[in-house]
Amino acid sequence: MSFEIAVLKGDGIGPEVTDQSLKVLLNVASKYGISFDFTDGLIGGFAYDKTGTPLPQETIDLCKKSDAVLLGAVGGPKWDKAPNDKRPEMGLLSIRKMLGLYANIRPAILIPALKTECPLKDEIINNGINITVVRELTGGIYFGEKGREIGANGIEAYDINKYNEMEIRRIANVAFALASKRNKKIVSIDKANVLESSKLWRSVVEEVSKSFSDVKLCHMYVDNAAMQLVKNPAQFDIILTDNMFGDILSDEAAQITGSIGILPSASLGDGTLGLYEPIHGSAPDIAGKNVANPIASILSAAMMVRISLGLEEVAKSIENAVNITLEQGYRTQDLDNENYISCSKMGDIISQNIV
């Protein structure tokens, strides 16, 4: 079997961590008799520097003809003064929209070997942490109308948070289908006591829930959810929420599992094509220093081979290699500031632990 993979390394630490994922994928491919054809594409600030746009048409075409897309990270202070429609982040938002990837799946699992890295008390995490955030990805405030105008008190800025029934219904269906295969419970997070968009969100989610009678649904305001994630994370299994709330809460969930550097994500649509990326950013302050944690990127690659390529055994072998490496005591700088190994060394060891 051969698979076409579009590789968008992006900016900052993106190339460093993605290279480790490719290293692991090549090793696992040799052991399982499969092959990957990796083709590089430009995205983000680096793409803007080279082509004048953060998402060249060539990259869009490459992704559409590939079996899956592996992404590093985009952005950095170098491009802070770029026009809004040319900023690196617009490349990421646009590729998700153009590929129809409206569902962002972000697992936050406390790996036993990293229990001491969790900032929460032992009595809080005795039951473990295994949360999956299902975040709507192509609607809401990030894609709504935005602008500036002159008002009575000077410049006014606005960003419109807008959702329609279809957008809410399809992401809710993804979350309920996933919940039905897990512990059959969903917490839908909104701000329905204040926001009209959240009131619609809640009503549509309740409508969808009627088709999944075996799944227990409850609602929670986003401010309470932020508190509950650190107070009692074990109460959560599937979190369903909108674009902005999901962006914020998934980073919080990442930190309570030890480090944002270890958590992967998948962006999915109605087909098999998916975009896979670590949830961390481009971390320009450590770019080029070979100290970034590649585990989130490597686990994103595992999600890629499981979901888009249908290779469950291969995915498990990558995840097992990560767990073995952490159990052996190897850490990158984000996990141990004194006794740490480099980004490339972590990739080497995980690759060697593929069995």
242 is catalytic: no
Whether the pLDDT of residue 271 is over 90: the answer is: no
Spatial distance between the Cα atoms of 264 and 293, rounded to a whole number of angstroms: 12
Residues 57 and 83 in one domain: yes
Q: How high is the pLDDT of residue 183?
A: 94
Domains held by the chain: number: 2
Whether the pLDDT of residue 258 is over 90: the answer is: no
Share of the chain above pLDDT 90, in %: 87
| CATH number, position 209 | 3.40.718.10
Q: Tell me the β-bridge partners of 36.
A: 3
Q: For the chain, how big is the Rg over CA atoms in Å?
A: 20
Spatial distance between the Cα atoms of 236 and 227, rounded to a whole number of angstroms: 12
Residues 92 and 127 in one domain: no
Residue 125 lies in a domain: yes
Spatial distance between the Cα atoms of 273 and 82, rounded to a whole number of angstroms: 30
Residue 223 lies in a domain: yes
Spatial distance between the Cα atoms of 268 and 265, rounded to a whole number of angstroms: 10
Residue 114 lies in a domain: no
Residues 124 and 241 in one domain: yes
pTM of the model: 0.90
pLDDT digits (tens, 9 = 90+) for 70-80: 999 999 999 99
Residues 203 and 298 in one domain: no
Which of these three, 201, 227, 256, is where a domain ends? 256
Which of these three, 224, 256, 288, is where a domain ends? 256
Residue 1 lies in a domain: yes
191 is catalytic: yes
142 is catalytic: yes
Residues 313 and 229 in one domain: no
Residues 130 and 240 in one domain: yes
Residue 95 lies in a domain: yes
* Catalytic residue from among 9, 48, 102, 142: 142
* Catalytic residue from among 67, 190, 191, 242: 191
Residue 157 lies in a domain: yes
pLDDT digits (tens, 9 = 90+) for 86-131: 999 999 999 999 999 999 999 999 988 988 888 899 888 888 899 9
Full domain range(s) for residue 192: 119-256
3-state percent helix, strand, coil for the chain, nearest multiple of 5? 45, 20, 35
pLDDT digits (tens, 9 = 90+) for 166-211: 999 999 999 999 999 999 999 999 999 999 999 999 999 999 999 9
